[in-house]
Amino acid sequence: MRKAMVVAAAAGVVLLVAGCGSNGGSDKGGSSAGTGGSSSAGSTTGGSEAGGGEELTADAVRTEIETAATGAGFVQDATGEQIPPGLEKCMVSWTADAKKAADPKKSYTDTVAALGKGDWKPGQNISQGGSTIQTMTKGTWQLKASDHSMGPVKMVMFIASDSTPVCEALFKADLEKNKKS
C-alpha cells in the first residue's frame, strides 16, 4: 500500500515536471485523439507528435524500458511499484532489483544509453549525493530514470508518464482523490 502511494506521489512529480516543458513544449500536442471519457485514456494514441506517425502506448513504453534494462543486466524487482488503478494506460513503472545487478551504476548507464538509441531524447540530468535522475522524452511520454544505488538503499527505477490532456486530467483527478483520503 505504501509503495502505491509512493508511485502516486512520483506520478504527481512527473506530471508537474512534464507540465513545465523542459523541451519548450515540443513534446506536447494539442491534437491528442483521446478526447472521450476516461475510458479513452487507454487508446493507442499519444505518440503521434513524435514524428513519423508512431503511436506510443503504455505497453510499448513498458516493453522498451524492460528490453533496455534487462539487456543492461537488470532483473525486475518482483515487489516493484504498482500503478494506481485507472492510470495503467498513462503511466509505467519498472523497478530494477539493483541488489542482483553485478554493477548497478553501469547497468543504469547502459539502460539510459539503450533507451537513447531507441529515440528517447535526453533532457535534464540531475546528479547529487550519489543519486542520478535522467529525464527523457519520446512523443508525449516523459521518463524519469533514477539511480539511487550508491548508498545503503539500492534503488533503480524507471517511471514514465504520458502528457496527453486525457492522461493529465486522470493524474490530476487521482491526486485530488488521494488528497481527500
Whether the Cβ atoms of residue 34 and residue 44 lie closer than 8 Å to each other? no
28 part of a folded domain: no
How far apart, in whole angstroms, are the C-alpha atoms of residue 113 and residue 169? 31
How many domains is the chain partitioned into structurally? Answer: 1
pLDDT of residue 172: 94
> 151 versus 136: which is more confidently predicted?
136
Whether 139 has a pLDDT exceeding 70, the answer reads yes
List the one residue out of 63, 27, 57 whose CA is nearest residue 140: 27
17 part of a folded domain: yes
135 part of a folded domain: yes
Whether the Cβ atoms of residue 161 and residue 91 lie closer than 8 Å to each other? yes
pLDDT of residue 19: 38
163 part of a folded domain: yes
pLDDT tens-digit series, residues 20-76: 333 333 333 333 333 333 333 333 333 334 344 457 999 999 999 999 999 999 999
Which segments of the chain are extended strands (E)? 91-96, 121-128, 131-138, 141-148, 155-162
- Band (pLDDT 50/70/90 cuts) for residue 15 is very low
Question: For the residues of 33-86, what is the DSSP string, one character each?
Answer: S--SSGGGGGSS-S-GGGTTT----HHHHHHHHHHHHHHTT--B-TT-PPPPTT
Q: Count Cα atoms within 13 angstroms, Cβ side, for 35.
A: 5
26 part of a folded domain: no
27 part of a folded domain: no
pLDDT tens-digit series, residues 88-136: 999 999 999 998 999 999 999 999 999 999 999 999 999 998 899 999 9
Whether 145 has a pLDDT exceeding 90, the answer reads yes
> 77 versus 48: which is more confidently predicted?
77
80 part of a folded domain: yes
Whether 158 has a pLDDT exceeding 90, the answer reads yes
Average pLDDT over residues 138-156: 92
Average pLDDT over residues 128-145: 96
Average pLDDT over residues 8-12: 39
pLDDT of residue 47: 39
Structural domain harbouring 41: 2-21+33-180
Q: State phi, psi for 93 to the nearest 5 degrees.
A: -130, 125
Could you identify the residue written with the cell 533532457?
Answer: 123
